[in-house]
Structure 1
Amino acid sequence: MKRLADFRPGDTFVLTRTCDRYRPVYYAAASGDFNPIHVDPEVGRQAGFPGAILQGMCTLAWAADACVGYFDDPARIRRLRARFSRPVNVGDTVTVTGRCVAVEGGTVRVELSAVNQHGQEVLKGAVAEASFGEER
């Protein structure tokens, strides 16, 4: 398990996920978010998208998954914040990139970016913090 001394400002990490056609349905089943724009491609098209779009909270969960991999312990994450800036369409590939910006007082802070395969941001202003105040 990683310790506070294992983190340095400038460290980076990456996670890539693709939104296959079933992902919005799987996420709906897990979250209860069965909004038709997420599970019915025709409703998505009527709303101006190519089809169904992924739930924003699933996109945020992908960012959280990237952080869990970096921090090495989900229980250490104390804060995760982002603004949804663009829908993720079925077929999109999202790359979450994190960069450690501070290691201070037992807290590791990272800034995140999440972009689709066209380089368009799907999350903005994303940050996460993990607490290492009590080393195990």
Structure 2
Amino acid sequence: MIDFNTLQKGAQIGSTTVFVNRGDLVRYAGASGDFNPIHFNERFATEVGLPGVIAHGMFTMGAAVQLVTDWAGDPGAIIDYQSRFTKPVPVADPDGTNPSDAPGTAIDIVGTIGALDAEARTARVDLSVSVEGTKVLIKAQAVVQL
């Protein structure tokens, strides 16, 4: 259990790397009902100006907030979560010749306490979400009731 009184603005709550591959996109499409071809059809994605197949924005957003859920210990503690999508998350089709292709695209996530509200006993966790050093989400913020 997190002791609200020990939290400090600017303190890091943790970091993680989440890998997404084409199989994950297929499973997410089935679960979400989002069958937009930019998430599975390379030719279509490039024809509309994308660098190739990209991850679902909501997949990326959901993967990022898992860090906060793990830290809080209770998904119900997150009372607000929002973000803005800034860059697509390209998910390459591994050709099988490079073993490093197997896990997929690495999404790097770092969580930091952005604000504390002693009266409401909430902490705002700011998430830095990037792929290869480029931020793919901005203003990714989760408010946690403690």
TM-score range, shorter chain: 0.7 to 0.9
Q: 1:98 aligns with which of 108, 111, 126?
A: 111
> What does 1:72-91 correspond to in 2, within 5 Å?
72-91=73-92
Q: Per-residue deviation at 1:85?
A: 0.2
Other structure's SS at 1:10 match: coil
Q: Percent identity?
A: 34
TM-score normalised by the chain length of structure 1: 0.87
Give the gaps of 5 or more residues in structure 1: none
Q: Per-residue deviation at 1:77?
A: 0.1
Whole-angstrom distance in 2 between the partners of 1:124 and 1:101: 13
Aligned length, in residue pairs: 131
Other structure's SS at 2:22 match: coil
Identify the residue that residue 28 of structure 1 maps to in structure 2.
29
- The aligned amino acid for 1:114 is V
Q: Per-residue deviation at 1:6?
A: 5.1
Other structure's SS at 2:54 match: coil
- Quick check: 73-82 or 92-101, which moved more? 92-101
- The aligned amino acid for 2:62 is A
- Quick check: 41-50 or 73-82, which moved more? 41-50
Identify the residue that residue 97 of structure 2 maps to in structure 1.
none
Question: Residues 26 and 6 from structure 1, CA distance in 2 versus in 1: closer, same or farther, beyond 3 angstroms?
Answer: farther
Identify the residue that residue 98 of structure 2 maps to in structure 1.
none
Give the gaps of 5 or more residues in structure 2: 93-104
- The aligned amino acid for 2:115 is A
Whole-angstrom distance in 1 between the partners of 2:131 and 2:140: 15
Q: Deviations over 1:39-76 (max 9, x none)?
A: 21221122233421110000000111111012121110
Whole-angstrom distance in 1 between the partners of 2:7 and 2:75: 16
Contact 1:19 1:89 survives alignment (8 Å): no
RMSD: 1.5
Identify the residue that residue 61 of structure 1 maps to in structure 2.
62
Other structure's SS at 2:34 match: coil
Whole-angstrom distance in 1 between the partners of 2:124 and 2:48: 37
